[in-house]
Amino acid sequence: MPTLSTRSAFYRSHPELILNLGSCLAVLAIVAIVSYLLARERDSVEQASIRASNNIVQLIESDILRNVELYDQSLKGLIWAVEHPQVLQVPPDLRQRVLFNQTFAAPVRGDILWLDSKGDVVADSISVAPRQANFADTPAFIAHRDNAALGLYISPPFKARLGNLDWCISFSRRISTSDGQFAGLAAGALRLSYFRELFQRLDIGGDSSINILNSEGQLLARKASGADDSATGTSYAQRPNFKRILDEQSGSFSARSDISGQQRLYTFARVGDLPLIVLVVDSADEVFQSWRRTARIVSVATGALCAGILWLTLLLGRELRRRHEAEQSLASLAATDSLTGLANRRRLDQVLRTEWARAQRNGNPLAVLMVDVDHFKAFNQRHGHAGGDHALREVAKTLEQSIRRPADLAARYGGEEFQLVLPETDAEGARLLAERIRARVEGLAPFEDDAHGVTVSIGIGLYTPGTQQELSQVLGAADEALYRAKANGRNRVEGPLG
């Protein structure tokens, strides 16, 4: 696991990376927060639409139940009157009032009929003299004739045979004799235009709709922009959305329309125990229109903010990189000898302490070479300071080219003296490298046809693992070896004594 100092060093050496990473995380956090808020706002808009649609569904459901109750009471009253023969003996006008609820005296909703066992009209809520028609072939008549326990029956939509009632549905109850035989039925027709008139008072948007369907999937009424009711009676029984509505009975869901393929919000409920379903279909485009406009504005603003953050991060990162490069350049200059380009004395001391500690810790040998240019003062007098500086640069270049390992270091010790630090190098390796350096310097091209040329004397200091040496002793041994090389004729290599 990296230590605190290691992490701190990494942060100091990679400021731009840390800055970019932090900015990216900040941008991701902003995007995540804005996305969450927009998603929550979208859910809020959807729930508000569902609540509004539920209110409409409940309002229509309440109206339908009230109408069905009125029809059922009227039908029960008619059946009661039929079962009491004395009522039928009164004059026709009075009998009309007794048989039928006056609510249905005018065809506002529809009419109520008393049919005999053959399907003929016996009494009519619209006319004292009953209109003539036969309803023996209608689904309601057949259903009551064949099922004595049917109760209140709501028929599929049909075109009225009497009057100008257009599309209707009927509510009917069976009339039985005292011994339970079929004696006819009481039936009331409800014009489906009544629901369309109710729908027109409700504002649900231009691309939404209110629908009433029966449990068989037949459309009874729908709010439309015009008077066209051509969809009445259309069956949706096989449509996947209707099957889901039929299974769930009440609730809401979002799905694509089976007809247009556009996204819709469906809110629905079954009307009590009746085989009727109220359905409000909202256009998702209309519901989320305001939210999408807000989302676009917020997204553009967020994108501009994030782009600004990233742009400022790039600018700041570039400045940090320039600063880091400048610091590295200054650090390099502070550790480099300006004349030779080798490490300077300060850098040499740092590397010596580091490699000495490593050699002590790991038990590896360490070699130090002291290199001195022979007769440099005389050379300097012959060729001047420019010539002397040129000679020192050539020797420095030779030293730098002779060391090959990354850990090796060649440094200018001072004047015409150089020092090489060679980690993990024993006596034999140090002598081989020293001889190579000596030979390469000796082979340098003569300066201005100088017959003496340039040579170096090299002394070797060596740390041997397991001994009680100090760094100063190793450096002293290298210095003594250098003096012996000079005393023994120069242009030679001398190692430590013993």
Distance of alpha carbon 339 from alpha carbon 350, whole angstroms = 20
Active site residue 416: yes
* CA distances, 300 to each of 42, 124, 294, 309 (Å): 17, 69, 10, 14
> Which residue of the set 355, 416, 424, 470 is catalytic?
416
Structure-block tokens of residue 69: 């109750």
Q: Residue 158's Cα: distance from chain center in Å?
A: 52
**Catalytic residue annotation:** 416
